[in-house]
Amino acid sequence: MTEVRERVRERYRSAALDVVQQGCGCGPACCDGPTETGFGAELYAAADRAALPDAAVLASLGCGNPTAVAELREGETVLDLGSGGGIDVILSARRVGPTGKAFGLDMTDEMLELARGNAAEAGVGNVEFLKGYIEEVPLPDASVDVVISNCVINLSVDKPKVFAEIARLLRPGGRLGVTDIVAADELTPRERAERGSYVGCIAGALSFEEYRSGLERAGFEAIQVVPTHEVADRMYGAIVRAGKP
């Protein structure tokens, strides 16, 4: 677990430094595929991209737009797991408005520094970035209304703990709205690894059935795991929604 986590940390630390030092992101290289397969900032609406700092757009390494998936509402508290350069936190903060709040969680100091700078440049004050792991979030029980994440849960080596942690953090009636990479049910772990690396968002992906059953075991209901686009042979970007009773 520690070895994989450190490889992920180094990959995204390098991505943040690329943005700061060279004005470019690692882009699709962070997720093992060309942009046309569905990774990066092009998955956001042009209007959203235009209203963001350039560095936030360059550091966008995900496989979807979870702020749209989660249907955020005014006054809600939202948490972004693996917030990276802060693009989803900034967009969330604007959607929930001044009476709401957006938290971002990341384990990489360089990404946190980049995200805080991007939020300041974007002029959003209702944000807070936390350092931590998605398996152990430094927030109290039942403290958020919505949990979002963009192509990050697949990077965890303890996904049952991630699902349990999300359930702990959500208030009754809260919801999960994430984008992630999901494998076809017939693909074995070995076959998934043949299609891309763990740190590149492919080898660690759950199957559709594994995702649904994992959320069920954590106590979620109204679970949906819906593919949106293929990123490798029988590997898909997907929208995942679920509710806490």
pTM of the model: 0.85
Rounded to the nearest 10 degrees, the angle between the axes of helix 208-217 and helix 159-169 is 50
Residues in the chain: 245
How far, in Å, CA of 221 to CA of 79, rounded? 19
Contacts of 184 (CB under 8 A, 6+ apart): 207, 208, 234, 235, 236
User: What does the pLDDT profile of the chain (245 residues) look like in tens digits?
Assistant: 577 677 766 776 666 555 555 544 444 344 444 333 445 445 555 545 555 555 544 444 556 678 778 899 999 999 999 998 898 999 999 999 999 999 999 999 988 998 999 999 999 999 999 999 999 999 999 999 999 999 999 999 999 999 999 999 999 999 999 999 999 999 999 999 999 888 778 889 999 999 999 999 999 999 999 999 999 999 999 999 999 99
- By C-alpha distance, which of 196, 161, 157, 169 is closest to 63? 196
- By C-alpha distance, which of 239, 185, 214, 244 is closest to 71? 239
Burial level of 99, CB count in 10 A (0-12/13-18/19+)?
A: exposed
| Per-domain residue ranges of the chain | 2-243
Strands 77-81 and 144-150, sheet pairing: parallel
The CATH class of the 2-243 domain is alpha beta
Strands (E), 10-116: 77-81, 101-106
